[in-house]
Structure 1
Amino acid sequence: MSETDMAGEEPGLRQTIGPFQLFAYTLGGMLGAGIYGLVGRAAGELGNAVWLGFAVAMVAALLTGLSYASLGSRYPRAGGAAYVTQRAFGMRLLTWVVGLAVMASGLTSVATQSRVVAVNLLSLVPAGVPPLIVALGFLLVIGGVVFRGIRESMALNVLCTAVEFLGLAFVILVGIPYWGSVDLMATPSPDGITASLLLSGAILTFFAFIGFEDTLNVSEECKDAARTVPFGIVTAMVVATLLYMAVAVTAVSVVPWQELSHAPSPLSAVTAVAAPWFPGWGYVAITVFAVANTALLNYVTASRLLFGMARDGLLPRALARVHPRTRTPHVAIAALFVILVALVLAGDIGQLASATVLLLLAVFTVVNGALLVLQRRPGEARGGFEVPSFVPALGSVVCLTLLGNRVATGDWRAPALAGVILLVILGLYAIMRPRGVPQEA
């Protein structure tokens, strides 16, 4: 893509993202703040074998991650999942649902993380300011960074990802002397490690690897996307897996898994034993960076998705405008800011965020299917990174299995709310009647 659009009338998105930046972008999306609490929950399921759960989850997540890597190398366009869905199936309604489902997931995440940042910042520096004001201020700062440019967004992401990485590396380093002190195959089940036990653990830890969907939406801003996107996704997933497994081994070696599973902050409990000299506020500060990074990445992703859908005629064309100086989709960023303020003012939207995760699993299923269709289409251009057809096929099966499990065994409120969100998305389609089709890459 050049820096002008198809008609040559407006500037396009700036291609500045290199392999390391995209690696950090993908890794930052995976690490997030979730791992800091997820280790305890997973230990409750798998006992000392929690590390094995992360390994199995990585294999399951890698199937869809490889599909996204292949699609990113084929079609480096903002719009991501929505674009490839339309290209594969040619169904505007399905494209609309996929695009808005991904956007809903990103927006609920940004709004939720804004409130979390506010609470943690005020615990570090009590300022007598209402958390809501801090949350809105944080949202304004993040929106400003996203508007300022992709370079600035990537720079902040690299900083936050480095802090997240160092926080996990610190836990590993102080806990290494404890390695070998427990049986890493011991589980809460009297039957030991079974397929059923591994499946339940993998289902729980699978969500620690979500982040590759963000990468696809910034592929248009990558230099040599055919190589950069696959490199960023695959290397980030491998590094995240090694980190997660090492952290899991450390955690159960330092703190018995029974205690770990009930700890409000599992990794804080680990450092309290392995490094009692480490200040208690340390992990609060790390959490702020982790949560802020998640919010930043989701804001960038949502803005590029909105921009891509508008450029392809599925949303008002004004949302596809690019600022001549910053080369960012400024109208889309401003529109999202208004929606985010409304979500933050709405209060606790935790259930809403859980519901959008279910929609994201459905999106993964569709995207895997899209790659299968495109691989078999005569004349379809191949990318710089191709995968065998069994990869997206198995990816679809895994995502459908996870979705079915979450609906069947989880809190009924999340699936019910997901259904409501889906109805709202369908209602918006009926009202707006989008008629555009994606332009060829």
Structure 2
Amino acid sequence: MSEDNKLHQAIGPGQMAFYAAGSMLGAGIYGLIGQAAGLSGNAIWLSFMVALVAALLTGLSYASLGSRYPKAGGTAYILERAFKSPRTGFVVGLMLLASATIGIPTLSLVFARNLSDMFGISDSLIPAIAIVYLLALGGIIFRGIRESVWVNTACCIIEATGLLIVIATGISFWGSVDYMEAPPVASPALGLDPLVIAVMSSTVLTFFAFVGFEDTLNLAEECRDPQRTLPRGIIAAMAIVAVLYICVAITAVSVVPWQDLADSKSPLTDVIRVAAPHIPPKLFSTIALFSITNTVLVNYVTASRLLYGMAHQGLLPRILGEVHIGRRTPHIAVFVLFVMFLPAAIFGTISQLATAATLLLLTVFILMNVSLVILQKRKGEAKGKFEVPAAVPMGGAVVCVILIIAR
């Protein structure tokens, strides 16, 4: 590959950590707290700890795979290599692209809807706002990976600030409740402690608060020293996000009874309303816009690199792997994705696609964990600078199977 057709290597460990954390910190956490509290009561913090361990197994597998095979379009490349089947990489790559083609414009409509609600804009303009929004983000991505990471970092800081405000205003309430209190269970299965049942049922939800680390794999070719940058970024991001989530969970049930959180449409807004009534509720509506923007930006970048990587593997037309000489970004892939987003942004409606997306993601996680086991056992495969025992990906695969069954 010529230098002119290579992506710009501009991402260091710190930037990668922000990128991964920004991908994990989404608007979903603002509603997830209430649902999880309804299942685990005051023990919601314990649910996040168990979810961290469960997610970390797959996160470490991705860190090891990224260290071994730093390729854009990493998922498709690794699956093709592990199963020695271009068809496997192609099919899973298309599944991920299909998910992005539906999910990204859907989130753009959510952004447009929230913006119109905040400023009283006519509903008829929502599709137009969504298109302009996607065009603006596409422009940032075309401009360069450095600019995309800057925007990602800014959004990540704003998202984290919202959670830190919740913690800061409610920390004086800490210690006011029993943090091992769980909802009563009528007939405990297999004689298990009700606390164990509550935490495990809630973990099925809280696990997905840590999803997003997988997006880093597609930026491997834009990292400086990717064999070290990817693992460090993923692990640092998961640690940062875990601390935030656990502290927010403790704060939420300390300020507002878990029963009320479970019934709330905006649980963290209710926490602020009780702990710091002087803070305007619109603050969190604004933060939600940045959360959505970060999610769309990260997914858009990831999808464009997946197209680029699959084109270089010969799984898609080569033109999708072209890199702009001046900007060193996959401009054709970025533009093609924008065109693909338009129908859903113009004619679509805001709908809940989480179940299908969740099953797809868990299936990919299982395949990636199995791929690492296969590649570790195969003679002649290159070693990375971050290796994990085979028990890690095996455990990650088992956890994902359990989550699919539990759902």
Which of 52, 58, 65 is the equivalent residue of 1:58?
A: 52
User: For residues 353 and 331 of structure 1, do their structure 2 counterparts lie closer, same or farther at Cα, with a shift above 3 Å needed?
Assistant: farther
Give the partner amino acid of 2:125: P
User: For residues 194 and 127 of structure 1, do their structure 2 counterparts lie closer, same or farther at Cα, with a shift above 3 Å needed?
Assistant: closer
How do 1:59-138 residues align onto structure 2 when only pairs under 5 Å count?
A: 59-128=53-122, 130-138=125-133
Which of 137, 149, 160 is the equivalent residue of 1:154?
A: 149
Q: CA offsets per residue over residues 99-139 of structure 1, 9 Å max, x none?
A: 12222333333112101111222223234462111111111
Contact 1:105 1:360 in 2 (8 A): no
How do 1:178-193 residues align onto structure 2 when only pairs under 5 Å count?
A: 178-190=173-185, 193=194
Q: Any idea what SS the aligned residue of 2:283 has? A: helix
Measure the CA separation in 2 of the matches of 1:354 and 1:336: 23
Q: Any idea what SS the aligned residue of 1:261 has? A: helix
Alignment partner, residue 139 of structure 2: 144
* 2:39 matches 1:38: no
Give the partner amino acid of 1:271: I
Alignment partner, residue 404 of structure 1: 405
Alignment partner, residue 266 of structure 1: 267
Alignment partner, residue 355 of structure 1: 356
Measure the CA separation in 1 of the matches of 2:79 and 2:348: 33
Measure the CA separation in 1 of the matches of 2:247 and 2:361: 28
TM-score by length of 2: 0.96
Measure the CA separation in 2 of the matches of 1:351 and 1:42: 18
Q: CA offsets per residue over residues 30-64 of structure 1, 9 Å max, x none?
A: 01111010000000100111111111111100000
Measure the CA separation in 2 of the matches of 1:169 and 1:348: 33
Per mean C-alpha deviation after superposition, the further-off stretch among 122-131 and 306-315 is 122-131
Q: Which runs of 5+ in 1 are unaligned?
A: 407-441
Contact 1:104 1:356 in 2 (8 A): no
Alignment partner, residue 209 of structure 2: 208
Deviation, 1:349, is 5.3
Contact 2:21 2:238 in 1 (8 A): yes
Per mean C-alpha deviation after superposition, the further-off stretch among 122-131 and 315-324 is 122-131
Alignment partner, residue 19 of structure 2: 25
Q: Any idea what SS the aligned residue of 1:378 has? A: coil
Deviation, 1:261, is 0.7
Alignment partner, residue 343 of structure 1: 344
Deviation, 1:98, is 1.6
Deviation, 1:11, is 2.1
TM-score by length of 1: 0.88
Identity %: 52
Measure the CA separation in 2 of the matches of 1:348 and 1:126: 19
How do 1:251-262 residues align onto structure 2 when only pairs under 5 Å count?
A: 251-262=252-263
Aligned length: 400
Give the partner amino acid of 1:244: Y
Per mean C-alpha deviation after superposition, the further-off stretch among 242-251 and 85-94 is 85-94
Measure the CA separation in 1 of the matches of 2:384 and 2:73: 17
Q: Any idea what SS the aligned residue of 1:218 has? A: helix
Measure the CA separation in 2 of the matches of 1:352 and 1:35: 17
Alignment partner, residue 175 of structure 1: 170
How large is the Cα RMSD of the aligned pairs?
A: 1.4
Measure the CA separation in 2 of the matches of 1:380 and 1:26: 27
Measure the CA separation in 2 of the matches of 1:238 and 1:119: 33
Measure the CA separation in 1 of the matches of 2:68 and 2:4: 24
Q: Which runs of 5+ in 2 are unaligned?
A: none
